[in-house]
Amino acid sequence: MTNEISGAVQSAVVVQAGQIQGGIHLPALRTPRPVPRQLPLMPRHFTDRLTEREALDAAGVRGTAVVVLSGMSGVGKSALAIRWLHGQDTYPDGQLYANLGGRAGPVRPERVLQQWLHALGVEAFPADLHELTAVWRSVTAGRSLACLIDSARTADQVRPLLPAGSPSMTLVTSQSSLWELAVDGADLHHIGPFPPGAGVDLLARFAGEDRVAAEPDAAEQLVRVCGHLALPLVLAGARLRSRPQRRLSSLVDTLTPTTNASPHPEDFARMATTAALNKAYSDLEADAQRLYRQLAILPVEDIDPDMAAAVASIPVATAEYLLDTLTDEHLLEELAGDEARPTRYRMGESQRDYARYLALHHDRDEARDDALQRLCAWMLAIATQVQLRLSPAQATLRLKQGLASAGVPERLPFDDDPGALAWLASHQRNLPGIVRTARDHEWHETAWQQVDAVWPLLHRRHPYDLWVELHELGVASARQADNPAAVRQMLLSGAIGLSQADRWSTAIRWYTDALREARAPSMADDKDDAVRDEGQALLGLGACLLDTGDHEQAVPFLTEAIQLWSDSGYPRGVALARIVLGEIATAQSNPARALTLFTRARDGLLAVGDQYDADRALAFRGHALTLNGDVDAGIRELTEAVERLGAHGSTRMCARALDLLAGAHHRHGDLDAARRCFRQAADLMATIRPAYAEHLRRREQVL
């Protein structure tokens, strides 16, 4: 057989198919995403909890979907949950983890859902929590997952995170009982302190059975001094293991509270934990003590060696050694790594509170501020390199102001485009705290630049709540910095996120503010930049009014943008505004005018090398051809646009083009092709706009 293809093959796949007339487009093959294994590492030392583990075993056999483990801080709830889940092999679709406590306050469920959905292979998400929860339930309906939700504060935090699949199990840890989750079928288990024998056994695992057997009374007293709690016992045990010559009785003396009062059990637990932490800290070398204090004041959820090295201004190898030391002493907890950051740590609440107290009382204000400033500078430097690599056009303002080229780090934690985006995404939960810290310390130029630098994450992953939160901080800091161009940049890029999240009224307000700022430039402002931003604000207002159906009010804004950009020599902006005018003409049943506008827009975009937006214009032009009576030509152009937009990876626009192509096939009388296009469009939109996906499926069914 002779293989012959007369046309372009848009794929790296080898095609063996005889003789084919015409081009072939095959979607790029994706590397399968690994099954998520997000649980923290197995506790190194664990004992007893036999009754609790048997209860969890029974819940698993019954198919219980939710189990809540409650108890005071330091009792060992998380260690029990992690240990039990690591021993299960009945959840083949993955293990997901979230800590809802949060360094900067309770973590919102939509943030967790976005991260979990991405781990399961979903690339784009809706903005609304209800729609996001619906996507989560749809994605998990046929899966068997183990989810660990740590440090939950309320039942409302937990409910949106519960998977729909009946074979799945969710373990929740909390200091509260979360009795409200019993309505959702949850088993509620209170975790109390260890019985005396179990506490002694835990000490023996650290110190050795011979040492404990040699001082049985001291071992039992040490367990009492530690309140029979896991955390202080683990800290005390770590001291004994690292000092084989130390007698247990001497450690008892250093940990025994000096008060003769009979405190409440929870107060006693805090005293025991503080005493154990104080002893663990006092035995550290000075460099480890300093790093421990510095890490406690960081506004981040997790830490890695690169971050620690930057904050402490030490070599990465030294940071790795000190982090290992703190982990060995149970002052840090090692987390499961990922491809972007193989080694990560977090500080438990008790350890962090104690270290923060030390930092506030032992370090000068200037020293603490210097550490925070180094954190902000490090994050900005690397995020800037991500932006310059993935979205260089977005960095134009900072490049003009001489900002984006400053502070290039010696070491980059990635070496390709996917790695750059993955690194930025892995810091998603750290970004709000870092930007807020820069704003609170009045490092306003750093704050707005940080928001600008994470554009690739916002634009490609669509975490809308993060998008809006960061830009609210960015606008405020740009104003404080008295940088009018930065104010407009923050307003315009923030408004894009608001409009994509269907928050049109707020987006219109932001675009209006940007328009006012652009029309009143300062003496130091660049006139060309102000004109460009004025046109962008006009275009944004017109697009928002198109989306809300207010076509008559949209047209003057778009017409003014075209005139402004024509006079100032910005043909790309002119073409983009013509696309929106063409959509309005289509909605007003004027396909002939729409065809002219889309044709001129596509020609203009091709002339400036904007292939993606030219392909958007091609899709709309195909639709206009169909409405204008040239259905065959419309189908040809829409088919080409679907292929091109798919190659761009534009899920939202590809789905829209498929919707338009379905309508063209329907007009042509090819109902099977129309149904197929509706089905493909619905599949693409299922994780972005579930309601629209359902609308497409209904249209498929009525054909």
Q: Does the pLDDT value for residue 2 go beyond 60?
A: no
Model confidence at 228, pLDDT cuts 50, 70, 90, reads: confident
Angle between helices 484-500 and 504-518 (to 10 degrees): 160
The two tokens of residue 442 are 């009045």
Report whether 640 contacts 22 (CB < 8 A): no
Pick from 295, 306, 280: nearest CA to 347: 295
Strand, helix or coil for residue 440:
helix
Angle at 526 between CA 520 and CA 532, to 5 degrees: 75
Largest CA distance in the chain: 96
Angle between helices 77-86 and 50-62 (to 10 degrees): 50
d(CA 110, CA 113): 5
Q: How do strand 9-10 and strand 24-25 relate by DSSP bridges?
A: parallel
Residue 42: which of 71, 74, 81 has the closest Cα?
81
Inter-CA distances, 244 with 141, 204, 310, 568, Å: 53, 12, 35, 78
The residue whose two tokens read 């193989």 is 342
Cα 494 versus chain centre, distance: 17
* CB neighbour list of residue 386: distance below 8 Å, 6 or more residues apart: 414, 420, 421, 423, 424, 453, 454, 456
Average pLDDT over residues 261-283: 71
pLDDT at 247: 84
Contact 422, 367 (CB under 8 A): no
Q: Which range has the worst mean pLDDT, 98-107, 117-126, 251-260, 607-616?
A: 251-260
pLDDT grade, residue 548 (50/70/90)? very high
Per-residue model confidence (pLDDT) at position 629:
94
Is residue 629 left, alpha or beta, with left meaning phi > 0 and alpha meaning psi from -120 to 50? left
The answer to whether 474 and 448 are in contact (CB under 8 A) is yes
What mean pLDDT comes out for the span 55-61? Answer: 89
452, 457, 468, 462: which is closest to 652 by C-alpha? 462
Cα distances from 539 to residues 130, 336, 500, 543, 603, in angstroms, run: 30, 45, 14, 6, 19
Torsion of CA 425, 427, 428, 431, to 10 degrees: -140
Give the pairing type, strands 333-335 and 344-346: antiparallel
In this prediction, residue 32 carries a pLDDT of: 59
Q: Is the pLDDT of residue 365 over 90?
A: yes
CA angle in degrees (0–180, nearest 5) for 662-665-667 = 110
Nearest-10 Cα torsion for 371, 373, 378, 379:
110
Would the pTM of this model clear 0.85, i.e. be above it?
Answer: no
Would strands 146-150 and 9-10 be described as parallel, antiparallel, or unpaired? unpaired
Q: What is the pLDDT of residues 377-419, one digit of tens each?
A: 999 999 999 999 988 888 888 988 888 766 777 789 999 998 9
Nearest by Cα to 274 from 231, 222, 240, 243: 231
pLDDT computed for residue 259 by the predictor:
54
Tokens for 401, please give them: 């102001």
Tell me: the pLDDT tens digits for 651-699?
889 999 999 999 999 999 999 999 999 999 999 888 777 888 889 999 9
Q: Which has the higher per-residue pLDDT, 42 or 86?
A: 86
C-beta separation of 344 from 335 below 8 A? yes
- Please state, for a pLDDT cut of 70, what percent of the chain lies above it: 91
d(CA 166, CA 404) in angstroms, rounded, equals: 50
Please say whether the beta carbons of 457 and 373 come within 8 A. Answer: no
pLDDT at 266: 58
Residue 136 near residue 116, CB atoms below 8 Å: yes
One-letter identity of residue 350: S
Residue pointed to by tokens 């392909």: 615
Does position 9 have pLDDT exceeding 60, yes or no? no
Q: Give Rg (Cα) of the chain.
A: 30
DSSP states along 452-510 = HHTHHHHHHH--HHHHHHHHHHHHHHHHHTT-HHHHHHHHHHHHHHHHHTT-HHHHHHH
| Residue 258 predicted with pLDDT over 80 | no
Band of residue 485 on the pLDDT scale cut at 50, 70, 90: very high
Mean pLDDT estimate for the chain = 87
d(CA 159, CA 143) in angstroms, rounded, equals 18
Q: Which residues of 13-28 are buried (b: 16+ CB within 10 A; e: fewer)?
A: eeeeeeeeeeeebeee
Q: DSSP states of 656-681 as a string?
A: HHHHHHHHHHHHHT-HHHHHHHHHHH
Out of 70-84, 513-527, 535-549, the most confident range is: 535-549
